[in-house]
């Protein structure tokens, strides 16, 4: 029996979850197609990950011209690689210019979404009350849930603990004893910013990272003027960056070959920046470059080599009062512990809130096999659910915004089909989904992500790569240009409107 409360906050043709790149892009394309929708955002601001992550030095390591919507290029980027405040400002401007802001309900978190096979609707519980929708677009973001490791004694640690994605901007590291756990993309941006301020910095490294030279530079005022006057020029620069990444970087990552050039660049960079041979040895990775995300930076290694920094490679055994203790028994006193420990990706808990037609949550389905879907967008047994930046849409060489944008015509095509053909449920065929995932896994087999000898968030607990798209990204875009209804079971509306069936 359907809960009548689900009518209270109203019914929408489409509910979009999240107002980051995915939700904003979806809303723009839905509005263009004349599809009624609302966006539910748990924060009080748009931006998603680019609003949540405010740690010092937070910056995108993808060039700005590419890390933006193709239909809303920004001639004003101040740097070829933008800092977080500027990316957030960009997203806010796009959301305002395209009228997205008016469709966002802020401070509204979706706590549960359940497919109701009687009404052919998604019934949602939110922190602002219940509502319902014909279709759901989940743009909750796959790097949205901080991974917080447990250390013995952390509950009684007397210092402050901050995850990189939950930075407390009021905390001042000046003169403090700071510990940073992690050496990933977030840590290499944080460490150089806090090292000059801290009294003592300890960087706890479990795995050394491949650090490449950073090519960022300020964009000159004549370039701004040229991009303003000639948008085609900016599109050309964007295309050059895009095709360089596709044809120079991707083939090396896919076949785990020709990585020598990347390895040499990184080792030369290390040698030039760290004179101490012993420290260099500790900072030299033992896996293939690209297996984990490559991290370009010019100021991380000098910060590690600085006099007030100690690189600790012994494993952490626990915390005790104001101390962090390592396996060799050494205790170091800390005022603050920064967890740059990444995100829950393959074990993200948001899918546990989404229940499909057989009463199982998406999390349960994924836990019984592995995270997977069709075209990274739809899921058998979860009708009318579309996910942006879903399984195997991640990339290690280019912009995720490109992948999200590639999904939008597909989602809009499906929603148009629902509306125009009197269809109430579209459910991807399990055999189609299975053969799609076989194809993905086959293509990933020789890739550096699978064979490079590292453990990364790209792999799930079974060692299966359920995050990366293993081909040229323009092939993904081509695949999703048209909604392939033949891959779906569809149910046509009965002569009586679903709302009347339930509520009438
Ligand atoms: O997280 P990570 P991140 N004890 O998972 C260590 C995106 N991003 O936040 O390597 C000790 O990469 C862990 O050690 P190990 C980007 O897609 C983008 O840095 O597992 N150490 C590792 O060193 C990126 O890939 C930008 O041995 C522990 C680190 O913590 C993704 O976010 C900027 C530990 C986690 O590294 C995640 O990056 C920033 C433990 N118990 C982030 N647990 C852009 O510029 C974890 N670690 C676009």
CA of 428 to the centre of ligand 1 (A): 33
**In testing the pocket of ligand 1, which one of 341, 403, 461, 467 has its CB within 8 Å of the most ligand atoms?**
341
Residue 3: the pLDDT is: 52
- 64: CA distance to ligand 1 center in Å? 22
Task: Name 413's Cβ contacts closer than 8 Å, sequence gap at least 6.
Answer: 482, 483
Taking CA atoms, 476 is separated from 27, 88, 320, 323, 377, in Å, by 21, 27, 50, 49, 12
Strand partners, 168: none
Nearest-CA residue for atom 34 of ligand 1: 341
- Distance (Å) from CA 204 to ligand 1 centroid: 12
Distance 146 CA to ligand 1 centre (A): 10
Ligand 1 atom index nearest CA of 183: 23
Q: 490: part of which helix (H) or strand (E)? A: strand 488-492
User: Which among 68, 79, 184, 286 is the best mutation to test ligand 1's pocket, defined by most ligand atoms within 8 Å of the CB?
Assistant: 184
Residue bearing the CA closest to ligand 1, atom 3: 342
Using CA atoms, how far residue 234 sits from 13, 70, 223, 409, in Å, is: 36, 10, 9, 23
- Given ligand 1 and candidates 342, 403, 461, which is best to mutate, with the most ligand atoms within 8 Å of its CB? 342
Which atom belonging to ligand 1 lies closest to the Cα atom of 67?
48
C-alpha–C-alpha distance, residues 337 and 125, integer Å: 36
Taking the CA of residue 339 as reference, the ligand 1 atom at the shortest distance is 30
CA distance 106 to 419: 27
CA distance 51 to 110: 18
Alpha-carbon distance 120 to 134, whole Å? 7
d(CA 136, CA 121): 9
Taking the centre of ligand 1 as the mean of its atom positions, its distance from the CA of residue 288, in whole angstroms, is 17
Closest-CA residue, ligand 1 atom 5, reads 342
Range(s) of the chain covered by CATH 3.50.50.60: 4-145+344-503, 154-215+242-339
Structural domain 4-145+344-503, CATH architecture: 3-Layer(bba) Sandwich (3.50)
- Would you call 355 helix, strand, or coil by DSSP? strand
For the record, the structure tokens of 318 come out as 């626990």
Q: How many A from CA of 218 to the centre of ligand 1?
A: 27
Q: List beta partners, residue 323.
A: 320, 333
Tens place of pLDDT for every residue, the chain, 504 residues?
Answer: 445 545 556 899 999 999 999 999 999 999 999 999 999 999 999 999 999 999 999 999 999 999 999 999 999 999 999 999 999 999 999 999 999 999 999 999 999 999 999 999 999 999 999 999 999 999 999 899 999 999 999 999 999 999 999 999 999 999 999 999 999 999 999 999 999 999 999 999 999 999 999 999 999 999 999 999 999 999 999 999 999 999 999 999 998 878 999 999 999 999 999 999 999 999 999 999 999 999 999 999 999 999 999 999 999 999 999 999 999 999 999 999 999 999 999 999 999 999 999 999 999 999 998 899 999 999 999 999 999 999 999 998 999 999 999 999 999 999 999 999 999 999 999 999 999 999 999 999 999 999 999 999 999 988 999 999 999 999 999 999 999 999 999 999 875 444 433 322
Rg (CA), the chain: 24
CB–CB of 467/457 below 8 Å?
A: yes
Q: Which of 186, 216, 291, 296 to mutate to test the pocket of ligand 1 (most atoms within 8 A of CB)?
A: 186
Question: Burial, 483: exposed, middle or buried (Cβ in 10 Å; 0-12, 13-18, 19+)?
Answer: buried
Ligand 1 centroid to 148 CA: how many Å? 11
Q: In this predicted structure, what is the pLDDT of residue 257? A: 79
Query: Ligand 1 centre from 184 Cα, in Å?
Result: 4
Q: Provide the token pair at 164.
A: 């990189």
Atom nearest to 62 CA in ligand 1: 48
Cβ-proximal residues to 252 (8 Å cutoff; 6+ apart), any chain: 258, 259, 261, 262, 290, 448
Nearest-5° Cα angle at 25, 290 to 168: 65
Measured distance CA(245)–CA(61) in Å, rounded: 13
Q: Which pTM was predicted? A: 0.95
Report the atom number in ligand 1 closest to the C-alpha of 188. Answer: 19
How remote is the CA of residue 339 from the centroid of ligand 1, in Å? 9
Distance between Cα 421 and ligand 1 center (Å): 45
Q: Order of strands, edge to edge, in the sheet holding 200-204?
A: 160-163, 336-339, 177-181, 200-204, 309-312
Ligand 1 pocket: which of 91, 149, 206, 208 to mutate (most atoms <8 Å of CB)?
Answer: 206
Residue 206 Cα, ligand 1 centroid: separation in angstroms?
Answer: 11
Q: Are 441 and 459 in contact (CB under 8 A)?
A: no
Query: Which residues line the pocket of ligand 1, CB cutoff 6 A?
Result: 59-62, 143, 149, 164, 181-187, 204, 206-207, 293, 316, 340-343, 455, 457
> Are the C-beta atoms of 166 and 144 separated by less than 8 Å?
no
The residue whose CA has the least distance to atom 24 of ligand 1 is: 185
Q: How far is the CA of 185 from the centre of ligand 1 (A)?
A: 6
154-215+242-339 carries CATH number 3.40.50.2300: no
Tell me the CA–centroid distance for residue 457 and ligand 1, in Å: 8
122 forms beta bridges with 115, 133
Q: Which helix (H) or strand (E) holds 17?
A: strand 11-17
Residue 142 has φ and ψ, to the nearest 5°, of -90, -5
Q: Tokens in use for 94?
A: 């796009």
Distance CA 333, CA 320 (A): 9
What integer pLDDT is reported at residue 495 of this predicted model?
A: 59
pLDDT computed for residue 376 by the predictor? 98
């Amino acid at each position: 029996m359907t809960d009548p409360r689900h009518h209270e906050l109203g019914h929408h043709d489409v509910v979009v979850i999240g107002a980051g790149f995915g939700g904003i892009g979806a809303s723009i394309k839905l509005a263009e197609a004349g599809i009624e929708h609302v966006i539910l955002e748990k924060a009080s601001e748009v931006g998603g990950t680019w609003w949540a992550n405010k740690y010092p030095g937070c910056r995108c390591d993808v060039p700005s011209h590419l890390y933006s919507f193709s239909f809303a290029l920004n001639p004003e980027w101040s740097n070829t690689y933008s800092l977080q405040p500027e990316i957030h400002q960009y997203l806010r401007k796009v959301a305002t210019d395209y009228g997205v802001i008016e469709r966002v309900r802020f401070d509204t978190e979706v706590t549960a979404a359940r497919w109701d096979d009687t009404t052919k609707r998604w019934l949602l519980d939110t922190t602002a009350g219940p509502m319902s929708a014909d279709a759901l677009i989940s743009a909750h973001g796959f790097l949205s849930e901080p991974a917080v490791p447990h250390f013995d004694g952390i509950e009684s640690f007397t210092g402050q603990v901050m995850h990189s994605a939950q930075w407390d901007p009021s905390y001042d590291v000046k003169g403090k004893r700071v510990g940073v756990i992690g050496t990933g993309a977030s840590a290499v941006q944080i460490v150089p910013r806090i090292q000059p301020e801290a009294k003592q910095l300890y960087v706890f490294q479990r795995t050394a990272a491949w650090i490449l030279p950073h090519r960022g530079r300020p964009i000159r005022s004549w370039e701004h003027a040229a991009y303003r006057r000639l948008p085609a020029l900016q599109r050309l620069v964007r295309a050059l960056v895009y095709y360089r990444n596709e044809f120079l970087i991707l083939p090396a990552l896919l076949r785990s070959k020709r990585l020598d050039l990347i390895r040499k660049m990184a080792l030369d960079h290390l040698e030039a920046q760290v004179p101490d041979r012993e420290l260099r040895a500790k900072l030299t990775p033992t896996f293939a470059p690209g297996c984990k995300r490559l991290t370009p930076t010019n100021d991380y290694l000098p910060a590690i080599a600085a006099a007030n920094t100690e690189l600790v490679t012994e494993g952490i055994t626990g915390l005790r009062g104001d101390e962090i203790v390592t396996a060799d028994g050494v205790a170091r006193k800390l005022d603050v512990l920064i967890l740059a420990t990444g995100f829950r990706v393959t074990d993200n808990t948001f899918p546990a809130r989404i229940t499909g037609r057989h009463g199982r949550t998406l999390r349960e389905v994924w836990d019984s096999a592995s995270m997977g879907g069709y075209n990274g967008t739809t899921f058998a047994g979860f009708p009318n659910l579309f996910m942006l930046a879903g399984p195997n849409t991640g990339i290690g060489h280019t912009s995720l915004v490109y992948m999200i944008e590639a999904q939008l015509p597909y989602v809009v095509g499906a929603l148009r089909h629902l509306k125009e053909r009197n269809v109430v449920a579209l459910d991807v065929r399990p055999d189609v989904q299975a053969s799609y995932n076989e194809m993905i896994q086959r293509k990933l087999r020789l890739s550096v992500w699978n064979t490079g000898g590292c453990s990364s968030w790209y792999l799930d607990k079974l060692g299966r790569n359920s995050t990366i798209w293993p081909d040229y990204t323009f092939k993904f875009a081509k695949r999703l240009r048209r909604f392939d209804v033949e891959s779906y079971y569809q149910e046509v509306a009965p002569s009586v409107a679903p709302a009347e069936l339930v509520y009438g």
